């Protein structure tokens, strides 16, 4: 029998991530209006119970392989994000606001998506921090190679030294700050066996973007004053 075009089964709740799909019929027990005074029925399988079960049965080997895969993918994914960033009529706006926003979010996108959809893939709060730092390092290395071999081949060894030192520290440091935010998200989800709340990391992500944007602004000012002939 064909499904009605406005069937309830087309609701977004029935197309959630794998973990949520297994418990969506019992999600009424997780409604804020019922907590903490109403306890789930004994036969119900809530999100919290299933998530706790997944963490208890999590394999360290699978978690490490997942982390390794994300580490390899995160940097190139961020480079693709940087290439797709929105163009701006103002070079200053692009360099100080748009660029840092897209790059910092792109560098942490892979571990962030994994944390939100499959939090049990991480068995330690240190994993997202390390992943974000590695992503920043890979991103910086790829970006440096693009600058030195394609975009700015004639700026000399001083420019190369600047790229490999200052710019690398900038990217790794900003990604590390964002990673600390993801660690807080993981710790809260692990402690309460609750859905990861990405908003917990918002201040860390904003800080990373602000530092990156401030650095770009300083470089632009120094270049405008002819005190610096190269930079980010």
What is the per-residue pLDDT across 163-221, written as a single tens digit (0 to 9) for each?
899 999 999 999 999 999 999 999 999 988 888 999 999 999 999 999 999 999 988 88
Question: Do 175 and 78 touch, CB atoms closer than 8 A?
Answer: no
Spatial distance between the Cα atoms of 94 and 98, rounded to a whole number of angstroms = 5
Q: Which of 22-36, 43-57, 135-149, 160-174 has the lowest mean pLDDT?
A: 22-36
Q: Does 18 share its domain with 129? A: no
Q: Name the DSSP letter for residue 41.
A: P
Output phi, psi for 58, to 5 deg: -65, 140
How many domains does the chain divide into? 2
Distance of alpha carbon 128 from alpha carbon 134, whole angstroms: 10
Same-domain pairing of 119 and 173: yes
pLDDT of residue 14: 47
CB 232, CB 216: distance < 8 Å: yes
Q: Which residues contact 95 (CB under 8 A, 6 or more apart)?
A: 216, 217, 220, 232
Q: Are 201 and 185 in contact (CB under 8 A)?
A: yes
Determine the distance from the C-alpha atom of residue 47 to the mean position of all C-alpha atoms in its chain, rounded to a whole number: 23
- Pair 99, 168 in one domain: yes
Residue 44: per-residue pLDDT: 55
Q: Given 10, 32, 57, which residue is the final one in a domain? A: 57
Q: pLDDT tens digits, residue range 56-77?
A: 887 888 888 888 888 777 666 6
Q: Which H or E element spans position 179?
A: helix 168-192
- % of the chain at pLDDT higher than 70: 68
Asked if residue 232 is part of any domain, the answer here is no
Residue 78 lies inside a defined structural domain of this protein: yes
- Residues 70 and 128 occupy one common structural domain: yes
137 and 31 assigned to the same domain: no
Q: Are residues 40 and 95 in the same domain?
A: no
Give the DSSP letter of residue 39: P
Residues 50 and 64 in one domain: no
Q: Are 211 and 231 within 8 A, CB to CB?
A: no
Q: In sequence order, what DSSP letters do the residues of 107-149 get, joined into one string?
A: HHHHHHHHHHH-GGG--STHHHHHHHHHHHHHHHHHHHHHIII
Measured in whole angstroms, the distance separating CA 57 from the mean position of its chain's CA atoms is 25
Report which secondary-structure segment, H or E, holds 184: helix 168-192
Looking at the structure, tell me whether residues 41 and 69 fall in a common domain. Answer: no
| Segments forming the whole domain that contains residue 24 | 1-57
> What is the pLDDT confidence band of residue 32, given thresholds at 50, 70 and 90?
low
- How far does the chain reach from its first CA to its final CA, in angstroms? 60
**18 and 88 housed in the same domain:** no
On whether both 67 and 52 belong to a single domain, the answer is no
Same domain, 122 and 65: yes
Same domain, 147 and 91: yes
């Amino acid at each position: 029998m064909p499904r009605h075009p406005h069937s309830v089964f087309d609701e977004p709740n029935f197309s959630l991530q794998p973990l949520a799909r297994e418990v969506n019929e019992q999600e009424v027990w997780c409604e804020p209006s019922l907590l903490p005074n109403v306890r789930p029925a004994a036969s119900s399988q809530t999100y919290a119970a299933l998530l706790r079960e997944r963490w208890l049965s999590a394999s360290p080997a699978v978690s490490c392989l997942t982390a390794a895969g994300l580490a390899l993918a995160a940097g190139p994914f961020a480079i693709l994000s940087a290439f797709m960033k929105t163009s701006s009529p103002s070079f200053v706006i692009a360099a100080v606001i748009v660029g840092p926003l897209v790059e910092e979010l792109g560098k942490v996108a892979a571990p962030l998506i994994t944390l939100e959809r499959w939090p049990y893939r991480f068995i330690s709060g240190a994993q997202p921090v390390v992943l974000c730092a590695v992503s920043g390092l890979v991103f910086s290395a790829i970006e440096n190679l693009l600058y030195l071999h394609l975009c700015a081949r004639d700026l000399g060894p001083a420019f190369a030294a600047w790229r490999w030192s200052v710019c690398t520290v900038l990217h790794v440091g900003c990604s590390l700050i964002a990673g600390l935010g993801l660690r807080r998200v993981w710790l809260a989800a692990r402690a309460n066996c609750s859905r990861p709340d990405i908003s917990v990391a918002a201040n860390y992500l904003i800080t990373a973007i602000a530092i990156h944007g401030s650095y770009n602004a300083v470089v632009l000012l120094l270049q405008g004053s002819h005190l610096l002939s190269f930079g980010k």
